[in-house]
Structures are given as structure tokens and as C-alpha cells.
Amino acid sequence: MKYLTIDTTTKVTALSLAENGKLIGEGFLHTGKTHSERLIPMLDQLLNAAAWKLEELGFIGVVRGPGSFTGIRIGIATAQGLAQVLGIPLIGITSLDTLAWAGWGRPEETVVILDARKNEWYYARYWWSEDLQCLDGPKAVTPKDLITGLREINSRFFFVGDAVYGAKEYLAQVLGEKAIIPLECQSLPRGAYAAYEAWRYWKKIDDNYSGNLNRIEPLYIRLSEAEVNYKKKHLERL
């Protein structure tokens, strides 16, 4: 089965085309342009390069968060529109589970941290055995609270996610040899990671698929700034 994945949860636009869990092609852009400017042109280029047509797709996988609120909405809206027009299933996977694939095959626990702003990270911790196991999270934590917790665990940690590059000196300083920091390109979202995670998810639900072709719920973890301000104003009026 051929499928497409879309990940716009961070500043990276990451797409993939895959078939039965095998990566066919991926697109990766880490520029200053918005997802809305580059998503469709990148998809067109990827389809043309692979000599695929949208009508050949069996399903679409979209990364639904956590991450950038605007990016999440753009990715889901695009995926929902395509799935509805094509009449194919749409599945949602999380950014944290997807990035955990960067740690596949490694002996350390994989720690995913994404920039959540407000001095917080979106975080989850994983272990690879026969399948991906989430040991903690997903949740929003401060760097200090996370490091305090990790210090108490007798393990080494392979850090991935868009918050790693800016925090690598801090992580190395406070965790020492317990912190494994990869190259930046390894720790950022990739189409390949989403292709593997979407297929892992699809295999679990394929025989009993009951998803909504038109709607995937975003995973925000915490309220957006607009929602926080709305609730604050509402309480002030009471």
C-alpha cells in the first residue's frame, strides 16, 4: 500500500512517500518560509520525482502534535483536504512518537524534547525493544524539572527534537556522559521517521479501521496563547 505522510509540527516541513513501510522518497526543508508556502510545492516535486499520482495513495498519515499550533493546523488541514478529495483513510500520529524513531536500534533511552516556548519543552521518553515503548510523557515540562528527573534514572539518554540543538551545552553540562547528543539533522523531524511511525500505526488498525476520513484531533498538550488570554478575560468579567 502506498501512502503519504505530512509533518509541519515544527519549523521543518517534512514529507514522505512510502509503500508498505518502505521509504520511497522524502522532502525536508528547514528555511524561514511558512509551511503554507512550501508544503504543496514540495509535495508536487516529491510526487513527480517518484512518478506517483495522488490517486495511488491508500492512506495519509499526518503528525498531529504537539508542536507549533499554527504548523499543526496547517498540516492537519492539508491532510484532511487531500484525504477527503481522494476518499482514503487519514490517520494521526504524534510528533514525539515519530521522532523516537531517531533512536531506533540504540542502547540508550530516547528522550524527545520539542520547543514549547515559555521556558518549557514538550517531552516524552522511550525505549526500543520489540516495539516502541513510551516510558514517560507526553507532557510539557521545564528544562530544570526534566533534568532533575533524569538524573535519578540509571541510564544514558539519546536526545532528539528541535530543542536539542539550542540546549546541547546545557544538557552536556548537567548530565555529562549520560547525555548523547546527535547531529542536528538526526534530531529534527524527517519524512522517514513519519513513514515508519505511520506504518507501525497502520498495521495495528488496518483490519479494523474505523477512523474519520475528514477529521483528526490536534494534540496540543497545553492551551494556546489565544485560549489562555480568552479564559483570563472571561474570568476577569465574572
Neighbours of 174 (CB within 10 A): 16
* Whether pLDDT at 212 is above 90: no
Domain positions in the chain are 2-95+189-233, 96-187
Residue-wise pLDDT tens digits, 225-236: 554 444 445 445
Dihedral, 189, 191, 196, 198 alpha carbons, nearest 10: 90
- At 235 the pLDDT is 47
On the question of a common fold for 2-95+189-233 and 96-187, the answer reads yes
Cβ-contact 180, 132 below 8 angstroms: no
* Per-residue pLDDT band at 211 (split at 50, 70, 90): low
**What does residue 23 show for φ and ψ, rounded to 5 degrees?**
-70, 130
Residue-wise pLDDT tens digits, 21-69: 999 999 999 987 889 999 999 999 999 999 999 999 999 999 999 999 9
Q: Angle 35-50/69-86 helices, nearest 10 degrees?
A: 40
Cβ-contact 71, 218 below 8 angstroms: no
Taking each continuous run of H as one helix and of E as one strand, the counts in the chain are 8, 10
- Cell digits for 217? 484531533
Max Cα–Cα distance, the chain, nearest Å: 60
**pLDDT average, residue stretch 2-18:** 98
SS3 1: coil
> The domain 96-187: what is its CATH number?
3.30.420.40
**What does residue 149 show for φ and ψ, rounded to 5 degrees?**
-70, -40
Nearest Cα neighbor of 103 from 167, 190, 32, 38 is 190
Bridge partners for 63 per DSSP? 93
CATH level 3 topology of 2-95+189-233: Nucleotidyltransferase; domain 5 (3.30.420)
- The Cα-based distances of 146 to 35, 90, 111, 113, 120 in angstroms read 30, 34, 10, 10, 10
